[in-house]
């Protein structure tokens, strides 16, 4: 898949949560082909201490309106600067990067999409894709509290959504792996993106139920192109670049203790 470096234009800015910004970017030309689970690297201007690009997963691609959605958590100086972007300003983007989630395996397959924190972002695009391809995606989203659940209307417009919150303010109380849907239903496969402890516990559930499971990693990276070998993850085939061979891996290819 061809990669590009482009100056995209900020078309919309919104703040679904005090710690997040949702940027919708557009271009004069149709946006290039991307796969769900791929990511972009954005250049942060006007932030002297932000030297490297910031990897951000693709949240959604609206082909009709030619918009690329990036849901960004404000963590450090760079991402805070991105949250200051205004409509009409430009953002330099290298994309699409990485392998993305698995393509649809068969019509009617039931795919559990688990997201936690900012890890919910790529699941929106993947869920839409699976639905379009005739699969049956189901979302399982985890958050600290009701207010931390993001883009719920969009998720619900695509597929059934199950929720856990740590304080019980929405859905079932606890972590995603404690949700009753996991004991009541079975799935053909699972995709998960979120904090590592969450991904490990989902991987454990997958192993117990003999369900294929892929995880999306976010190791710190520099080039995004597989050149610098900084973002490596240990796999059964040795160290590989999360930016190029990943970010999505079959959990059986990793060396995690599950």
Partner 1 sequence: MADLTTKIAGITMKNPVMAASGTFGYGLEFADFVNLEEIGGIIVKGTTLHPREGNDYPRMVETASGMLNCVGLQNKGVAYFCEHIYPEIKDIRTNMIVNVSGSTLEDYAECAARINALENIPAIELNISCPNVKQGGMAFGVTTDGAYSVVKAVREVYDKTLIVKLSPNVTSISDIARAVQDAGADAVSLINTLMGMVIDIEKRKPVLSIATGGLSGPAVKSVAVRCVWQVAKAVHIPIVGLGGIMTAEDAIEFFLAGASAIEIGTANFIDPAVTVKVAQGINDWLDRHGCTSLTDIIGQLEA
> Nearest distance from residue 186's CB to partner 1, in Å?
34
Residues that bind partner 1 (CB under 8 A): 2-5, 43, 48-53, 94, 219-234, 238-239, 244
Which residue's CB is nearer to partner 1, number 152 or number 230? 230
> Do 2 and 42 meet the contact criterion of CB atoms below 8 Å apart?
no
Which residue's CB is nearer to partner 1, number 87 or number 227? 227
Rounded to whole angstroms, the Cα distance separating 12 from 22 reads 8
Query: Which residues fall within 8 angstroms of residue 8, CB to CB, at 6 or more apart?
Result: 25, 26, 27, 68, 90, 91, 92, 93
Which residue's CB is nearer to partner 1, number 68 or number 124? 68
> Do 65 and 47 meet the contact criterion of CB atoms below 8 Å apart?
no
> Nearest distance from residue 226's CB to partner 1, in Å?
5
> Nearest distance from residue 255's CB to partner 1, in Å?
12
Which residue's CB is nearer to partner 1, number 179 or number 244? 244
> Nearest distance from residue 80's CB to partner 1, in Å?
15
């Amino acid at each position: 898949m061809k990669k590009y470096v482009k100056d995209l234009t900020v078309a919309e800015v919104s703040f679904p949560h005090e710690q997040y910004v949702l940027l919708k970017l557009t271009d004069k030309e149709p946006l290039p082909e991307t796969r769900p689970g791929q990511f972009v690297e954005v250049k942060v201007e006007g932030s002297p201490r932000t030297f490297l690009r910031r990897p951000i997963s693709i949240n959604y691609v609206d082909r009709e309106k030619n918009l690329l959605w990036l849901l960004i958590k404000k963590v450090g100086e760079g991402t805070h600067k991105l949250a200051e972007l205004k409509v009409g300003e430009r953002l330099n983007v290298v994309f699409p990067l990485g392998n993305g989630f698995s393509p649809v395996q068969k019509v009617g397959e039931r795919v559990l999409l688990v997201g936690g924190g900012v890890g919910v972002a790529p699941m929106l695009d993947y869920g839409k894709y699976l639905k379009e391809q005739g699969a049956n995606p189901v979302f399982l989203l985890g958050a600290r509290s009701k207010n931390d659940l993001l883009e719920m209307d969009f998720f619900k417009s695509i597929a059934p959504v199950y929720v856990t919150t740590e304080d019980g303010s929405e859905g079932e109380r606890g972590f995603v792996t404690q949700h009753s849907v996991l004991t009541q239903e079975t799935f053909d496969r699972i995709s998960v993106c979120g904090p590592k402890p969450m991904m490990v516990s989902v991987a454990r559930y997958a192993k117990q139920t003999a369900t294929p499971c892929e995880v999306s990693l976010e190791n710190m990276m520099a080039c995004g192109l597989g050149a610098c070998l900084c973002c490596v993850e240990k796999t059964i085939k040795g160290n590989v670049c999360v930016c190029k061979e990943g970010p999505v891996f079959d959990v059986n290819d990793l060396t995690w203790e599950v």
